A and B are shown apart, each in its own frame.
Chain A
Amino acid sequence: MTQYPTSPVLEPVAGQEKTLVLNMGPQHPSTHGVLRLVLEIDGETVVRVMPEIGFLHTGIEKTCEAKFYQQVVPLTDRIDYLCPMTNNLTYCLAVEKLLGLEIPPRAQWMRVLMNELTRINSHLVWLGTHAMDLGAMTVFLYCFREREDVLRLFEMVSGQRMMTSYFRIGGLALDPPLGFFKKVKAFADRFLGNVDEYEGLLTGNPIFLMRVKGVAHLSKEDAIALGATGPTLRGSGVDIDLRRDAPYSSYEKFKFKVPVSNGGDVWARYVCRVQELRESIGIVQQALAGMPEGSTKADAPKVVLPDREKMKTQMEALIYHFKIITEGFTVPAGEVYQAVESPRGEMGYYIVSDGTAKPYRVHMRSPSFANMQVLAKMCEGRLIADVIAAIGSIDVVVGDIDR
C-alpha cells in the first residue's frame, strides 16, 4: 500500500509522465463494500488497475482453528454474506467427507432447494446493483422486492434472514415448518414472470446495451490462465459447472442446462447469470415435485444433535447432546478439498484434521478472490466508466475476498 499515495497526486506535466493516480473506493458505492481500486489514468483511459484488498480483514481462518467443528458453521455465513447457505453446504460437505457420513435423501434435496434459492437471492442482488451502477434504478427496486420474498423463506426455515446457519454437519438444523413448500411453490410459479420483467427493462434497452456490449473483454485463454471462475469463466466460453461435473448433494438427479456464452464481455456474463436464474427456478420446481419424506438428520448420534423431544425422554440423547456441546466430536485425521458451485463460482473448503475435535486448518478458496485477478486484465486500456461495469459483471462480494 505504501507504493501508492492515498490522495490523488498530479505528476508534473513537464515532459515524461502525464498519468494520474486515482483511488476508487474503498467506499465507492460501486465497489460493493470495502474494495479499493488504485487506477492509473491517462485522461479518461485506464492505464493500470491495482486492486488493494484486505480492508475487511477478519482473520476468519485463524478463528476456525480455535472452534469445534460444529461451531465453524456460523462463521461460514460471514465469509460470503450473499450466499450463506452455499458456504454452509460446502463446509458441511467437507466435514461429512472427512467423517464418512451419509446424509438422508430428504436433507439432500432440501439442501439443493435452499442452495438454488440462495443462488436466486445472490443473483438478484447482483442484477439490481449492477443495473443501478449503470444507471437503471427501477431494476434495483424490483430485484430487491423479489429478494425480500426469498429472505422470508429463509427466515421461515432458519429464523434468520441473512446469516442463516441452516445446514448442520450431518443434515439440517430442522425440518422446514408447515406451509413452507407451499410458499416456495407460489414464489417459483411467479418468479419467471419477474425475470421476464427484468429482461424487458434491460435486455433490449439501448443505453444498457451500449454500456455492456463489447466492454471489459476477457478471452477464454486469459480466463483459464488467470483463474476466473463461475459465470465469469462461463461467459468466456468455458463449459464447466460443478453441479453437473462433480455432483454433490444429489444434484445428479436434477435436469438443468449450464448457460455458456462465448462473448467474454459484460453482456455475456449478464446473459449467463440471467439464464441461471431461470435454470435455478427449474431446479427448485423439480426439488419441490420430488421431495422425499423421512428424516433430515443422519443417523450419527455422536455428531448430530438429538431432537429436543428425545432429550426429554432418553438419557442417551441428553448425554450425547451434552458431550457434543461441551467437547465437540472428533474427526478422523486426514484432509479434504470440497468444492461447490456457488453463485460466484467454485467455492472450496480445504480442511485438515489432526484427529481432534477442532479443525487443524480450514482454508477457504473463494470465487471472488480468484475473480479479482481478472479485473486488471478486463479494464486496462478502457474508460473509467467501464471499470464500474466490469466490477459489476464479476459480481464481487468483499467478504468473499477476505480471509
Chain B
Amino acid sequence: MALTPAITDLEQLKSHPAVARLLEWNTAAVQSAKYDRDELTIWVDKHLIRDACAILRDNPACPFDYLCDVTAVDWFPSQPRFEVVYHLLSLSKKERVRLKARLDDEGPVLESVTSVWPAANYFEREVFDLFGIRFTGHPRLERLLMPDDWEGHPLRKDYPVEGYR
C-alpha cells in the first residue's frame, strides 16, 4: 500500500458526484480539490459554504445527508489562517467527502450549517469555543467545553500552553 501522488486536477475529479454537482451549480464555489489517500477534499468559497452544503445534501445522484463532523485547523502564522473542515457522508451511497473553507485571521466568521443539518450545533459550538471562529445564524453560539469566562481559545496555535493564565 505505497502512497500514490495526490490528484489535484479538477477535470480528473469530475467523476465524483460531489465535485460534479458543485461545479454544475456554481463554478465559482469550488476553489480547488484534491484526491489523496482515497479521500476527496474540496475547498469551497467561504461565502458559499452553507449553500454548498445544502446543494450536496439534496444532490439527487448521491445525497450527502449525514454530517459526520465539523472541525478546524489553525495554520498560524500563514494566511489565510484557519481552515474549517466538514466531513460529509452519504448514508445510501456510502461515499465520503471533505469540504474546507479558508478563513482569515481578522474576525473569522462563517455561515452556520445548522439550518442544513441540526447536527452541526455542537460541532460548531466546539469550534467556536476552541478556535474562536464565529458562525452566523447559529441558534446558541456559546462556549461548550470551557467555562463561560475563559479567556482565549485553547486550540489556537498561539495560545500559551505554559505559565499562569
Chain A residues, CB < 8 A from B145: 53-54, 57, 402-403
Inter-chain contacts of A2 with B (CB < 8 A): 148
A59-B154, A339-B68 are contacts. A372–B73 as well, Cβ < 8 Å? no
A225→B117 contact, CB < 8 A? yes
- State whether B146 touches A54 (Cβ < 8 A): yes
Q: Are B117 and A53 neighbours in the complex by a CB distance under 8 Å? A: no
Docked pose: A57 CA to B120 CA in angstroms: 20
Complex: A102 Cα to B143 Cα, angstroms: 41
B119 to chain A, nearest CB (A): 3
B contact residues, total (Cβ < 8 Å): 40
Q: In the bound complex, what is the Cα–Cα distance between A402 and B117 (angstroms)? A: 22
Who on chain A is nearest to B119 by CB? A227
CB closest chain-B residue, reference A59: B154
Question: Who on chain A is nearest to B154 by CB?
Answer: A62
Is the C-beta of B50 less than 8 angstroms from some C-beta in chain A?
no
Residues on the A chain within 8 Å of B120, using CB? 227
B134 at the interface (CB under 8 A from A): no
Say yes or no: is A334 at the interface (Cβ < 8 Å to chain B).
yes
In angstroms, how far is the closest chain A Cβ from the Cβ of B116? 9
- Measured in the bound complex, the distance between the Cα atoms of B39 and A339 in whole Å is 12
Q: Assess whether A100 is interfacial by the CB under 8 Å rule.
A: yes
Chain A 6-65 residues near chain B, CB threshold 8 A: 53-54, 57, 59, 61-62
Return 8 A-B CB contacts under 8 Å, by A number: A66-B161, A225-B119, A240-B94, A336-B39, A337-B98, A350-B87, A360-B73, A403-B126
- Chain A interface size, as a band, is 35 or more
Complex CA distance for A402 and B38, rounded to whole angstroms: 29
Q: How far is the CA of A101 from the CA of B37 in the complex (A)?
A: 12
Q: Is B28 an interface residue (CB 8 A)?
A: no
- In the A-B complex, list the 7 residue pairs whose CB atoms are closest, starting with the nearest: A227-B119, A100-B3, A54-B145, A365-B69, A363-B71, A102-B1, A245-B94
Give the distance in Å from the alpha carbon of A350 to the alpha carbon of B37 in the complex. Answer: 13
Query: Min CB distance, A42 to chain B, in Å?
Result: 22
Instruction: Tell me the bound Cα distance from A365 to B73 in angstroms.
Output: 14
B96 CB within 8 Å of chain A: yes
B62 to chain A, nearest CB (A): 14
Chain B 68-109 per-residue mask, 1 if CB under 8 angstroms from chain A, else 0: 110101100000000001010001001010100000000000
Task: Identify B119's interface contact among A1, A361, A363, A373, CB under 8 A.
Answer: A373
Does B29 make an interface contact (CB < 8 A)?
Answer: no
Binary per-residue interface labels of chain A (264-307) against chain B in the complex, 1 for a CB within 8 Å, 0 otherwise: 00000000000000000000000000000000000000000000
A135 within 8 Å of B by Cβ? no
Q: In the bound complex, what is the Cα–Cα distance between A344 and B63 (angstroms)?
A: 24
Is residue B59 within 8 Å, beta carbon to beta carbon, of the partner chain? no
Q: Is the CB of B119 within 8 A of A370?
A: yes
Which residues from chain A contact B3 at a C-beta distance below 8 Å? Answer: 99-100, 332
Residues of A within 8 A of B36 (CB): 334-335
- A352-B73 CB under 8 A given contacts A1-B148, A102-B1, A346-B68: yes
Report the Cα distance A136→B154, complex, angstroms: 43
CA distance A335 to B6 in the complex (A): 11
Whether A226 lies near B118 (C-beta < 8 A) is yes
CB distance from B47 to the nearest CB of A (A): 24
B45 within 8 A of A: no
Q: Give per-residue flags for B114-133: 1 if the beta carbon is below 8 A from chain A beta carbons, else 0.
A: 00011111100010001000
B147 sits at the interface (CB 8 A)? yes
Contact A336 B68 (CB under 8 A): no
For residue B99, give the distance in angstroms from its CB to the closest CB of chain A: 12
* Docked complex: A158-192 residues within 8 A CB-CB of B: none
Given A225-B117, A346-B68, check contact A100 B126 (CB 8 Å). Answer: no
Q: Chain B residues with Cβ under 8 A from A332's Cβ?
A: 3
Q: Which of A295-342 contact B (CB under 8 A)?
A: 332, 334-337, 339
Given contacts A62-B161, A66-B161, contact A1 B87 (CB under 8 A): no
Taking A226-B118, A365-B69 as contacts, is the C-beta distance between A61 and B87 under 8 angstroms? Answer: no
Q: Are A334 and B37 in contact (CB under 8 A)?
A: yes
- Could you tell me the distance between the alpha carbons of A225 and B53 in the complex, rounded to whole angstroms? 13
Answer yes or no: B144 CB below 8 A from chain A CBs. yes
Q: Which residue of B lies closest to A58 (CB)?
A: B145
With A337-B96, A402-B145 as given contacts, are A224 and B118 in contact (CB-CB < 8 Å)?
no
Q: How far is the CB of B6 from chain A (nearest CB, A)?
A: 8
Confirm or deny: B67 has a beta carbon within 8 angstroms of a beta carbon on chain A: yes
Nearest chain B residue, comparing its CB with the CB of A66: B161
A369 vs B91: C-alpha distance in the bound complex, in angstroms?
A: 19
Out of B2, B37, B41, name the residue touching A98 (CB < 8 Å).
Answer: B37
Verify A350–B85 contact, CB threshold 8 A: yes
